[in-house]
Structure 1
Amino acid sequence: MATTKTTAQTPGRRRRTESKRAAILDAAEWLFVTDGYELTSVDAIAARAQVSKRTVYDHFGDKRTLYGSVLARVHESVTATVRDAVDQELTEDRDLGDALTAFAMRVVTEAFPSSSYVAHRRLTSQGPSAPRLPEAVHERPERLLEERFALLAAAGELRVPDPRRAAKHFTALTVLLALEALREDPTEPAAQAEIPAIIADGVDAFLRAYRR
């Protein structure tokens, strides 16, 4: 019976392998965002990453798998920003209104302007031939908020029969309205100045519906 022979990499070789993989992902992200999934070739990715086409295939198998890896990476970066905001702002030792406001402002001011979020939006808005993240992965940022709302409900801070629906309501009232205001030009001062009022109104509406 045949067995697969494995060879442990030396630290130096492992670093080179990781460096090549990162270079491929960086090159692929830039090209997929700029030119789109259909128009981007593995040859172009290899050239931009300064590796051979064979190296791209060795690491990722095919273009579809590489696109999925790029999308997963930028999604995880956005998710990490939301996770930090949940953990650091939605704590039980502060006023709930202040905590919700700080959380929403942090998502809007840190996640939305980030290059990862911009890339995520462009990657997920491409044609039907482009791969999509599994639904469970796509919803992970909202799930983090849902889990924290469940904990706040258990602590007596919120009245939340359905944490998932509550998370969707909060996001719609605050984050999504802020995103809509920023969509045309995130650098426009008038749009930026409107954000605190949008979030304050959204938090107030949410608390009137869900606060104990």
Structure 2
Amino acid sequence: MATPKTAPQAPGRQRRTEMKRAAILDAAEELFVSEGFDVVSVDAIAARAEVSKRTVYDHFGDKRALFHGVLERSGEVLLRTIRAAIDEELTEDRDLREALHAFAQRVTTETFPSSVYVNFRRLHSQTSRLPEELDDEPERSLQERFLRYAEAGDLRVPNPRRAVQHFIALTMRLALDVIDETPDIASKPEELHDLIADGVDTFLRAYS
């Protein structure tokens, strides 16, 4: 079912429309995360959002489009978080090893435990594909920053995409694997600190 086009609205009505849309997304996220896409019905989402079923369809067209709307909203929050970490930690006036470690440590200890990321992973596990901008944007942002380091002579990155993949694998992805396998390691920040430090050192031996 295609999402119908809507005519321009007066400010008050537009605000109410936006509030209903947000309520639907909030309700859908809670139910998709807790019960799963296949189990949750549009009726249940409408009831949780305190809107009519027709209103859900008017805003999103069908349940799958609503699911992707929830996934995109969650992913966009994560993108903003990661971009902020890149901009604030990977600065040109900072020692490179310190900057890389601070960035990976921030993502690992602040972003990974957040409810936004936890929900995003649960949603992502229910679909085989991510919207392209959510799938590629974090790596593209890191590639741009690594190229700046290369221009300054701090890194050698003949293949920026591969360099980013190696950095992520050696630090944040490895840390996430360890967290998944040993949940109580989150209460031992020194172990994650050492794991990330080893990954950064290994990366720099290959790329600096």
Taking structure 2 as the reference length, the TM-score comes to 0.92
Name 1:176's counterpart in structure 2. Answer: 173
Return the offset for 1:135.
Answer: 3.8
Name 2:71's counterpart in structure 1. Answer: 71
Distance 2:97 2:91 in 1: 11
Return the offset for 1:23.
Answer: 0.4
Distance 1:150 1:22 in 2: 38
Return the offset for 1:192.
Answer: 3.5
The letter for the 1-side match of 2:193 is P
2:117 is the counterpart of 1:117:
yes
Q: Deviations over 1:55-107 (max 9, x none)?
A: 10111010010000101111111111110011111111110001001100111
Distance 1:84 1:116 in 2: 15
Return the offset for 1:140.
Answer: 1.6
Name 1:104's counterpart in structure 2. Answer: 104
Return the offset for 1:11.
Answer: 2.0
Return the offset for 1:111.
Answer: 1.2
Gaps of 5+ in 1: none
Of the three residues 129, 144, 147, the one matched with 2:144 is: 147
Name 2:38's counterpart in structure 1. Answer: 38
Of the three residues 190, 206, 209, the one matched with 2:206 is: 209
Distance 1:26 1:64 in 2: 15
8 A Cα contact 1:75 1:120, kept in partner: yes
Return the offset for 1:139.
Answer: 2.2
8 A Cα contact 2:25 2:70, kept in partner: yes
Distance 2:144 2:121 in 1: 24
Against the structure 1 CA distance between its residues 173 and 188, is the aligned structure 2 distance closer, same or farther, given a 3 Å change threshold?
A: closer
Return the offset for 1:188.
Answer: 4.5
Against the structure 1 CA distance between its residues 157 and 142, is the aligned structure 2 distance closer, same or farther, given a 3 Å change threshold?
A: same
2:167 is the counterpart of 1:158:
no
The letter for the 2-side match of 1:19 is M
Distance 1:198 1:76 in 2: 28
Taking structure 1 as the reference length, the TM-score comes to 0.90
Match of 2:39, SS? coil
Distance 1:90 1:104 in 2: 10
Return the offset for 1:154.
Answer: 1.4
Distance 2:52 2:142 in 1: 42
Name 1:137's counterpart in structure 2. Answer: 134
Return the offset for 1:124.
Answer: 1.2
Distance 1:89 1:41 in 2: 43
Match of 1:94, SS? coil
Return the offset for 1:162.
Answer: 0.6
Of the three residues 197, 200, 203, the one matched with 2:197 is: 200
Gaps of 5+ in 2: none
Return the offset for 1:10.
Answer: 2.2
The letter for the 2-side match of 1:90 is L
Return the offset for 1:9.
Answer: 2.0
* Identity over aligned pairs, percent: 63
